[in-house]
Amino acid sequence: MSSALLVIDMQNGFVHPEGSLPSLGMGMPGVESVIAENVKVIAAARAAGLPVIYTRSVFRPGMVDLPMRMEGFLPPNFDILERGSWDADVHSDLTPADGEAVIDKNRYDAFLNTPLEQVLRTLGVDKVLVTGTVTSICVESTTRSGYMRDFDMYVASDCVLGAPGQHEASLGIMGAAFATVLPWQEALAAVTGEPALSASGAAITA
């Protein structure tokens, strides 16, 4: 069996300073660092031969398929992550390579009403390393859902971001019951069976 990297919702609307949520004052701390760590883990996963799969939260014009409760924190008639828009695109530093799957969703759980499980099963994947945003919402919802489908879930703690307090609590909950939570180098080593590397490229030994 094999492993895959799942990059959740690293879209302009969430992580670019001109994106829809940051423009409302709803940006998240540490976003630059998390983007940089995602660049590294994506490159390392590709080098190791792991499939890299992306998700995007996207909504129809008029926000007719927006999840319940999201309207409560958005201004009236405010469009967010509209399908086909720059806001909905994956951040340019993390652009999917040719042939990499991009799964569009309109709910927090990336398995719900999408072909994600089918894609993973077809690839023979049993271990899934998760990165992205938002830790306590789409990342946790997807991680729980993957666990319930008997995937061995891993979360790269330095490649996810969310609101202070909620972010840390979510990592703790996932690590206690649904996933192995580690910095990306250790997590990638765990899912590939290869030794973790230090920043200098040297193997990390116990």
Is 138 labeled as catalytic in the residue annotation?
yes
Is 159 labeled as catalytic in the residue annotation?
no
Q: Give the DSSP letter of residue 70.
A: G
Q: How far apart are CA 186 and CA 188, in angstroms?
A: 5
Which of 127, 138, 158, 159 is flagged as catalytic? 138
Beta bridge partners of 90: 11
Which of 9, 87, 109, 158 is flagged as catalytic? 9
Residue 48, C-beta contacts closer than 8 angstroms, at least 6 positions apart: 188, 192, 194
Which of 87, 105, 109, 159 is flagged as catalytic? 105
Tokens representing 176? 């206690």
* Helices and strands, number each (H, E), in the chain: 7, 6
Q: Assess contact for 64 and 16: CB atoms under 8 A.
A: no
The SS3 assignment for 56 reads: strand
Residues acting as catalytic residues: 9, 105, 138
